[in-house]
Amino acid sequence: MKWLSTEEQAAWRAFLHATTLLEDHLDRQLQRDAGMPHMYYALLSTLSETPGRRMRMTELAEKTKITRSRLSHAVARLEGNGWLRRESCPSDRRGQIAVLTDAGYEELVRTAPGHVTAVRTAIFDRLSPDQVKQLGEISQIIADGLHEPEGADVPWLR
Amino acid sequence: MKWLSTEEQAAWRAFLHATTLLEDHLDRQLQRDAGMPHMYYALLSTLSETPGRRMRMTELAEKTKITRSRLSHAVARLEGNGWLRRESCPSDRRGQIAVLTDAGYEELVRTAPGHVTAVRTAIFDRLSPDQVKQLGEISQIIADGLHEPEGADVPWLR
DNA sequence: AGCATTTTATTGAATCTTCAAAAGTTTCCC
DNA sequence: GGGAAACTTTTGAAGATTCAATAAAATGCT
């Protein structure tokens, strides 16, 4: 059993603090200005960038790295707000398609500047271009490692 | 209004994915192996490193970057598990002190190796020593920026 | 075709977090 | 001393997330 080195411990602690504070900060900012938590905003934002502003539920869940269950609950709530609507998928009768409504798009247009400013102020205004590059690379490595579960339950059957 | 550059957008997206997946992964790991979410584990872990394995509520909340309310609920739950107990503070009758019990310490001893392995596998085994250093520095900068709220409501009165 | 398996999406219950309000205590200042 | 203001912690309700179970539809296999 190998423990963390002093440097690793320090980095891990700082990382935990940064992510905890940042999540809290952005959730608060968006809850105040847009009436939704950060993840819900991310769903609208993701949809806004797709052709037709629509996406299959599973695809949207994968793109935003959340579970299908979480997405179902979130979409139900956002649909209640009128920012999203569901359509059934023509090619697969199990499928549902989440569609960003005009009202949802307007809400995004209205709140995006404030959110981007919050992100910029918290992160990018404080980092050098090289640090931004480093952060991107490091994040990518971590995300890649978690994207497809590594150790399956029965590795000897792989 | 200044938007994010292409590099910044890419970094931000990767960072969001990494933190979302990582949080989910570690919560799941600890829920399975220790019966508690990651933040609760962090509370026990933080307490275990203090003299007397005890800390005032507010201090513990600040050290772990969570709200007092969240801490109160968490401590109530962990107390129910027998991993923590409350003592009243002798010098300040408002104060409560969270104390790690022996059972709590044992639980930590039992589950720490698995958790450290999970953290190592997800992060530190994948990064170069320089990247670990970079991650620590970048995280520190972000955390520092959020630690004391920057823009007060009335900056002209500061 | 027929039947088991897999995939998609949702649901409800339990748990966790946030927010605002509350009660008790200490501090500040005159 | 006395009263306002600030601080510490808890509480309950509302909202969010997880997990396991469910239903419906597609796919695979023989």
> Which three-class secondary structure string do you get for chain B?
CCCCCHHHHHHHHHHHHHHHHHHHHHHHHHHHHHCCCHHHHHHHHHHHCCHHHEEEHHHHHHHHCCCHHHHHHHHHHHHHHCCEEEEECCCCCCCEEEEECHHHHHHHHHHHHHHHHHHHHHCHHHCCHHHHHHHHHHHHHHHHHHHCCCCCCCHHHC
Q: Count how many pairs of residues, chain A against chain B, have C-beta atoms within 8 Å.
A: 162
Q: What pLDDT, on a 0 to 100 scale, did the predictor assign at position A101?
A: 98
Reply yes or no on whether the pLDDT at A155 is more than 50: no
CATH class of A25-141: mainly alpha
Give tens-digit pLDDT for B30-72: 999 999 999 999 999 999 999 999 999 999 999 999 999 999 9
Give tens-digit pLDDT for A45-56: 999 999 999 999
Interior angle at CA A126, CA B147 and CA A21, nearest 5: 30
Closest to A7 in 3D by CA, of B66, B58, B130: B130
Structure tokens of A49? Answer: 């960038």
**Rounded mean pLDDT, B91-96:** 96
Q: Is A58 on the interface with B (CB under 8 A)?
A: no
Distance in Å from D24's C1' to A91's CA comes to 15
Give the residue extent of every domain in chain B: 29-112
Reply yes or no on whether the pLDDT at B1 is more than 50: yes
**Rounded mean pLDDT, B10-14:** 98
CA atoms within 13 A on the CB side of B82: 4
Torsion of the alpha carbons at A16, B114, B132 and A139, rounded to the nearest 10: -70
Confidence of residue A156 (pLDDT cuts 50, 70, 90): very low
Instruction: Determine how many CB atoms are found less than 10 A away from the CB of residue A139.
Output: 22
Q: What is the largest CA-CA distance in chain A?
A: 56
Give tens-digit pLDDT for A86-125: 999 999 999 999 999 999 999 999 999 999 999 999 999 9
3-class state of residue A154 by DSSP: coil
Mean pLDDT, chain A, rounded, equals: 94
Enumerate residues 83 to 102 of chain B having a beta carbon within 8 A of any beta carbon in chain A: none
When scoring A17, A30, A38, A133 by the number of chain B Cβ atoms within 10 A, the one with the most, hence best to mutate, is A17
Distance in Å from D2's C1' to B91's CA comes to 23
Give tens-digit pLDDT for A139-148: 999 999 998 6
Dihedral-angle region of residue B65 (phi above 0 means left; psi in -120 to 50 means alpha; beta otherwise): left
> How far is residue B6's CA from residue A63's CA, in Å, rounded to a whole number?
19
Q: What pLDDT, on a 0 to 100 scale, did the predictor assign at position B147?
A: 81
Q: What CATH number matches the domain at B29-112, 3.40.50.1000, 1.10.10.10, 3.60.150.10, 3.90.480.20?
A: 1.10.10.10
| Neighboring chain A residues of B24 at a CB cutoff of 8 Å | 65-67
CB contact under 8 A, A12 and B120: no
**Rounded mean pLDDT, B6-32:** 98
Question: A88-95: long-range contacts (C-beta < 8 A, 24 or more apart)?
Answer: A89/A56, A95/A56, A95/A57
When scoring B13, B123, B130 by the number of chain A Cβ atoms within 10 A, the one with the most, hence best to mutate, is B123
